[in-house]
Structure 1
């Protein structure tokens, strides 16, 4: 039986929002739980969109967080295909954008996620220009890749980040020709730095992907609404039947900004500023997932993390905080990727300039190794490539802040557990 005396509203129907709703019920909250999702699909997980589902290895239904019937069974008032266009903090209401309906809240969680950054060049209105963020995007792109592979077509990808590389791998698996345009000198430079980015460049080159580093797209050329080629600022023209814009994502902060909530500096990734309990500058409003910029004591900085594990863990943490539990959100950032025969997990945070050396344990040439980003003998981050069941000891090395012997760190015969 739902107790209508308290109402918790969640804006955002991704993994963070869905897991927050689940946690509220699991923790015994008996008030109204209202989950508002601007997509018509039930809440789903995003990793399969560029991995298993895109490759045709996973069924569409496998992406959903819960079975559709779960929401009614747990008295979750799910509003699909609805937007919220205003928060009135004084009245403690949110307004639906479609019909102006007002819903009052006692606690509000913003899990509005992020949206793909757009290419600001001529030709982006052509039919063959794509983004990958939503299930509908993946459904469309899946058909495009299959057609390109069947017809020996060309895909140009702007951006050599995780989405760009995962789609490149999927496209080559389908048989499409792939060119990746990246303004940096290596893939994944902002995450892995130059030392490890080349591992991924070589992997993709072995599978027939062409890279063009140090250049940017300047125009997408088309005819009769269809893509013909992509031009770069070095004067080259690359044949293309389709183009994927994979140049990152921007946090969806418009609702929070209009409500006067504190935002993080855009130069540092933006997002809604929250404290260690995931509370915003309004004590009755919380934020979690891609949109939240939270303080991380271990790294002595504010982080905004766009990966699956942050949504998986951040939504439940915010729910418990909304219930008044003592919460400190300090999870070590974690993400994973699968490309061809390479599987990888990464834990920690070590952007270029934050570390003084990279230590390799194993054989990087065979792509069976662990890389550690180290500063003054302390491990900031670790990446295991085709080496499994080591996430726990890697994260313990990071959280312990122990000064380690780097020779022992590089030695596969020395158990990682003995170094923390």
Structure 2
């Protein structure tokens, strides 16, 4: 008998809703140079302060993932996703209404960082909740393709963020952007999040969670259950997400800051390159998800890790010192690798666990890796460039992580066609 699946409407709403979280966080990274001046005042240290603050806020993602994961494992995926989106809506609206450094001084920066922490907390369980929901509602032979749509839709959010930033930089003079224009992207994000919350209220519950309710297998303490029974799976999930996080956050979202601070490209040109890269990710992601259904998660991840080990230093060199065409090539290839890892990683991480305790397992593995190799790495990359004088540090960071996780990917069990039942 085939596994029960979700309605197409529920699947579309769940996949599309990842637009919001990635719109907000990539907005902050793409707009880092502007926000640093608005909230931390003029001076060379403002950008590093902003990036450090965003990195610290990312450390709350694992805590949020544990809290929201507990809700999702105990009370259902749908309830968890409604709650997280409500918090995200409130945080983005509050950010749009913040006073600036010129108005409140240093207090403005602290308020921004507090709201970044609240946003990170709510986002902690958001993406993993959507991934689990899609995986549990997809036909077994299409889990990779359908789950990858969450990653593709998240890049739509990133594309929207970079498009809005590019439009503001292009159409508004810098004084206008810094006085009031920066508020517009956050107001748009709050409206978008509110619309997603309304759409999510019509979604059905995950078939796998309904199975757990019917069989009486919902774990009383999901976190403890996962730690007792699935420690190796947590380690594998951490490795997959470490590769996905550093390729995405250093290979895509940090690129505009890299291009601007190395002095080779203007802000508008850097954001334009990132727009093209985002489109590439959207196109690549479902293709790689489909390939992982056909060829297996292990093989596709291993090939992508090999590309991550061999290419990034050369690609960052092209972006920094090459012609406009070479810079575009570097950005596009980096984006394709990052998009590919995110695509197959979505299903591969969720498949490491049974339905029971799945969200808690993803919190311990995937979200913890994202906090370390996602939120911290743009700050570390910028700091290392400043201290070493070597502009290709970001490429070396990606290559190093890819080499470290490759043995794990080569030896992990294949999950593409494994039934998603309790172990």
TM-score scaled to structure 2, two decimals?
0.26
More helix as a share of residues: 2
Structure with the higher strand share, 1 or 2: 1
TM-score, length-scaled by structure 1: 0.26
Which structure is larger by alpha-carbon Rg, 1 or 2?
A: 1
